[in-house]
Amino acid sequence: MGSSARARSAHMVDLKGKGILYEMEDEPLQLLEDDGSQAIKEFQLSLIGKILNPKKQNVEKLIQYMTGRWGLQDRITANDLGNGKFIFNFTSEEDIKAVLSQGPFHYNYYMFVLVRWEPIIHDDYPWIIPFWITITGLPLHLWIVDNLKRIEGRLGHVDTMELAQGRMLIDIYS
């Protein structure tokens, strides 16, 4: 977009009273450094999610449905973060693990991403869909870490291997 088009667009935003009008010479705002340890500690027991089909999925309804489906209504608080993103706050690590082990997740016939909260700043976060997969047809004596790592190269990044259950948690980028 050229500078004249940007200026016209900014002018229309101002006239309509929508959005923030930025001047061409506005400098980025430098935020103060903070270790953020209190905020990080607060969200350690949180999962963050993103719907993948906003035309068919409603975040508020998804939140209500999933907390009921997991049977954790009294132990989870949740918030709609806007732009199709949401957060579930848990009271225990065991509940988080129990929920994550049920993935991949879907609501209203479409998948959604649900991962542990991380202290990062990125518009696309969360972008990884974890899948528990079982490799069928692989003889038991070949179910070893080195062979599974070779399979990993074709599928995605292996986050966890459970050799006793014969399954792997694979991270797929959405």
Of these ranges, 13-22, 117-126, 132-141, the one predicted with the greatest mean pLDDT is 132-141
pTM to 2 decimal places: 0.60
Cβ neighbors of 94 (< 8 A, separation 6 or more) are: none
Q: Report the first-to-last Cα separation within the chain, whole angstroms.
A: 28
Helices (H) and strands (E) counted in the chain, each on its own, are: 5, 8
Q: Which helix (H) or strand (E) holds 153?
A: helix 145-155
pLDDT number for residue 131? 73
Beta bridge partners of 116: 47
Q: Which helix (H) or strand (E) holds 167?
A: strand 167-173
Q: Which residue has the higher pLDDT, 6 or 95?
A: 95
Q: Supply 43's token pair.
A: 């969200």
Q: State yes or no: cis peptide before 28, omega within 30 of 0.
A: no
> For residue 136, what pLDDT band results from cuts at 50, 70 and 90?
confident
Cβ neighbors of 126 (< 8 A, separation 6 or more) are: 48, 49, 50, 85, 113, 114, 115
pLDDT digits (tens, 9 = 90+) for 10-32: 555 455 554 555 566 677 777 67
Q: Right CATH number for 43-119 from 1.10.1060.10, 2.60.120.380, 3.30.70.330, 3.10.330.20?
A: 3.30.70.330
